[in-house]
Chains A and B, each alone.
Chain A
Amino acid sequence: MLSPVPSLPDQARTATATDLLSIEGLEKHYALPGRWFGQAGVMRAVDNVSFAIKPQETFGLVGESGSGKSTIGRMIARLIRPTAGRIRFDGKDWLALSGDEFRRARKRVQMVFQSPYASLDPRWRIADIVAEPLRTHLNLPAAELRDRVAGLLQAVGLDPAVADRHPHQFSGGQRQRVGIARAIALEPDLLVADEPVSALDVSVQAQILALLQDIKARRRLSMLFISHDLSVVAYLCDRVGVLYRGRLVEVATTRDLFNAPGHPYTRALLAAIPGSGQRREAPIPAGGTVSEGGCAYAGRCPHARDPCRTVVPALRPSASNALIACHRAGEI
């Protein structure tokens, strides 16, 4: 089909008809309390973030604590409301859906949380935890419900015989399997996984990564994978967005991001991974001040120049097809 829009590199696209999820200009602000009463200012936890996820694509959001990655996930899951911006899911205005329409669409977006200890109700049996979404959304006869639960437990590598047990009888890795079984129960199109392996031991982490990989392939779903751990993101994701203080500083395919990181922050982040084999050019500066109006990273950036401190850089397509928000992207 012909399109009037000049073709942009894949990363640079904003919404197209084929996207499962698209996000435009998403913002979440929190009021900072003043010294006595009233509001001293605004903390932009998420600041003008846009990206899109295609069907069957796994998109990674990486960043350090306070970068806004979990806030974005929670806004997509509609657990908190954005201050501004649009979220479109399967062509519909996701934030405007209400009532029955929202209930129907809700099934299609499910979440996996970080803590397998806090996210399962200790008083419920495993069978009830996994069956809850099925009970809420589908009206199944008891026998079929039981079969479905058994099938889901099997799909996440648990013996269906454990259905009558309670969460405390399980290890962290097994609990995370239960959380995943619950999330895939309604066969969602999008799974939002917020640090799903961070609380787990290394050997168990690998089991859950392999499980997510398997689910991704078998169920053909899209995933938004939120993590602070770049190695895990590199393993699981097709494309990655790097967040710094609420803003996306780089969006690229996983291969490009790890082979040729464009933004100075992405480079610092990669060099900081222990055992990455990359020598850090210079010690990474501690702290740094928030620059008013300019690039949020300017205070720590060895390449910062005048415009970096005054003008917020927009995400722009780079020569290598990535999107980079850096005034000096081409020269450094």
Chain B
Amino acid sequence: MLGGMSNSTPNGPRPAAAPDRGAYWRINLRYLAVLLTIWFAVSYGAGILFVEQLNAFTLPGTSFPLGFWFAQQGSIYVFVALIFVYVVLMNRLDRRFEVDEDEGEVGRAASAPDGEAPA
């Protein structure tokens, strides 16, 4: 049962040695810490805890009270940006540690285009 996924690398030797994977994981955790801090700050921080204080200001160029804007608009825009930043960071990190999915059979098998017709 467990074997089903723990040995799911039959198509090639593992190129990255154990210490590399440790470093990869630590960098990943650092990215997560930074991005989730921003996630917390824009929603729970600006949108909830400090909303009254921020409402004393308006978003430049509009008539939005700033805290209200974070709660109903700004936080959502930041959420979207955070995910795409993470995608870029992780794709780069995967290549750097050679744990990405673009080599050999893996890359070819998975290169189906978007909206591929279900055969």
**Chains A and B come from one and the same complex:** no
